[in-house]
Amino acid sequence: MKRPPTASELNLCLCHSCGLACDMTDDPHECPRCEAPLHRRKTNSLTRTWAYLFAALAFYVPANLLPVMNTMMLGNGADSTIMSGVLEFWEGGAWDIALIIFIASIAVPGIKFVALSLLLITVQRGSDWARRERSKLYRFVELIGYWSMLDVLVVALVAALVKFQALGDIEPRPGILFFGMVVVFTMFSAMSFDPRLIWDNAPDDEPLSDAPPQAAPATDGATPDPTGA
Amino acid sequence: MFPTQHLIICEHCDCVYEKAVLGKHQKTLCARCGGVLQRYNGLTVEQRLALSVTAGMLWLFANFYPVMSISMKGLKNSATLWDSVLALSQGPITFMAMVAAISIIIAPAFQLVLLIWVLSFALSARRAPGFKLCMRWLETLRPWSMLEVCLLGAMVAVFKLAGLLDVLPGIGLFALAVLSLMMIRIAGRDIRDLWDIL
């Protein structure tokens, strides 16, 4: 497939902070426009992403096993975990709320673990399989990342509201700490991954020309021409 | 050093393009990986500033009025965003209180202060003092500002409690709803346009 020239071929580097295409002939260490540090690729991307991912995975176990919340109603206390909260809504007939919590708290972190591991392994193997789709997968992971904070905020709000001593009291439990750590670490993990690694060492495609082509405007909703140009 | 202002690099696959002028509802996509390169943005500096000031007012409402109140057997209670952060701060989970405070109170507040600061100077076509630092912080803060998640969380909390007791959404919740939508519009990536026009 023909493609536009890459930044490394033109000796340019993208500034992640202001988006300037920086000229790298003098090997500057920071962006001439916004003074943010410049890196051709994110530093130690693969190692860092793996490390954050494993940390998140370690926290994922207690996050799901430990109770996240304790509900005391008229003297009867009950601990609830993330999953029991989902089931409670499901059995109460509120399947839509159950689905929202399930997606945000259980499915999203799960998808992130699988997707990031897949991206890391394929990049390490130098695979040229489905590059475009893997790019899309990374953007999806970035997009859904922070929605898992949902449960933490629900517990915080509910615990702040129900404070009637003996009559009714809701308190957060340590599970929510581990759960929040999973969210924070998966976010760090996704941020440390450099999606450009997916496209490095692509042997099969050659630059269209040495001059960068004009970006082709497409109207929202319309399918863009995959060949570009 | 040759001029590179007219170039745009795809952050997902490193392809280089020349910037295109966009019309309404248009965007440019990378031909290789399909990522979005540019997106049309119709906001002028004046409109942006006006929206930021409005959002600042809404932030005050969302933080100083209760998000919701409940009543149970004659007892009443209400909670603001800050109350819910405090609820997490007890016991061994204090760290989560900090994360929650950053994501629903501090990060949006900083974003708004920086936006208003930078944009009020941009109004007279000047770069604000500390412009570079402000713009870099706006980039850093963006992923940690989670108002829309907080909005969904508040709505889930309403349903969670509705079975146990009477729940009444407060002014804070409505302010939060409008504020979270406005933040998506004004604190997005397109604030980077200021680099080109100032």
Confidence category of residue B159, pLDDT binned at 50, 70, 90: confident
ipTM of the complex: 0.91
For CA atoms A30, A32, B109, A48, give the dihedral sign: negative
- The more confident residue out of A82 and B113 is B113
Which A-chain residues 84-113 have CB contacts (< 8 A) with chain B?
A: 85, 89, 92, 94, 97, 100-101, 104
Judge whether B197 is closer than 8 Å to chain A, CB to CB.
no
Q: Please give the Cα distance from A161 to A174 (Å, whole number).
A: 19
What is the per-residue pLDDT for A210? 67
Higher pLDDT, B139 or A204: B139
Contact B136 A17 (CB under 8 A): yes
Does the beta-carbon distance from B34 to A132 stay under 8 Å? Answer: yes
d(CA A223, CA A165): 58
Chain A 149-168, residues with CB within 8 Å of chain B CB atoms: 149-164, 167-168
Percent helix, strand and coil across chain B, each rounded to 5? 60, 15, 25
Mutate to test the interface with B, among A95, A157, A219 (most CBs of B within 10 A): A157
Beta bridge partners of B176: none
Beta-bridge partners for B95:
none
Q: Does A164 sit within 8 Å of B77, measured CB to CB? A: yes
* Per-residue tokens: B7: 């170039």
Predicted TM-score (pTM) of this structure: 0.90
Nearest CA in chain B to A199: B13
Average pLDDT over residues B66-77: 88
Q: Which is more confidently placed, B121 or A89?
A: B121
Longest Cα–Cα distance in chain B: 74
pLDDT average, residue stretch B87-102: 90
Average pLDDT per 10 consecutive residues for chain A, totaling 229 residues: 81 90 88 89 93 96 92 83 89 86 90 95 89 93 89 92 84 92 94 92 66 76 44
d(CA B19, CA B5): 9
Output the CA–CA distances (angstroms, integers) from residue B29 to A7, A60, A188, A206, B20, in the order listed.
Answer: 16, 36, 26, 19, 11
Q: Kind and range of the H or E element at A142?
A: helix A131-144
- Cβ–Cβ under 8 Å, residues B147 and B178: no
- Would the CA dihedral through A98, A102, A104, A105 be positive or negative? positive
Amino acid at A81: T
In DSSP terms, which residues pair with A78 in a beta bridge? A71
Supply the pLDDT for residue A223: 45
Give the pLDDT band (50/70/90) at residue B164.
confident
Kind of pairing between the strands at B75-79 and B68-72: antiparallel
CA angle A216/A220/A222 to nearest 5° reads 75
The matching CATH number, chosen from 1.10.10, 3.30.70, 1.20.140, 3.50.4, for A44-198 is: 1.20.140
Q: B39 - beta bridge partners?
A: B27
CB contact under 8 A, A157 and B99: no
For residue B61, the model assigns a pLDDT of 95
Query: Distance between CA atoms of B159 and A95, rounded to whole angstroms?
Result: 12
Alpha-carbon distance of A67 to B61, in angstroms, equals 33
First-to-last alpha carbon distance for chain B, in angstroms, is 21
Q: Contact A119/A137 with Cβ under 8 angstroms?
A: yes
Residue boundaries of the structural domains of chain A: 1-40, 44-198
Residue type, A134: R
Angstrom distance (rounded) from CA B192 to CA B63: 28
Res A222: pLDDT: 46
* pLDDT for position B69: 92
Confirm or reject contact between A177 and chain B (CB < 8 A).
yes
* SS3 (DSSP) at A28: coil
Which tokens sit at A24?
């790298």
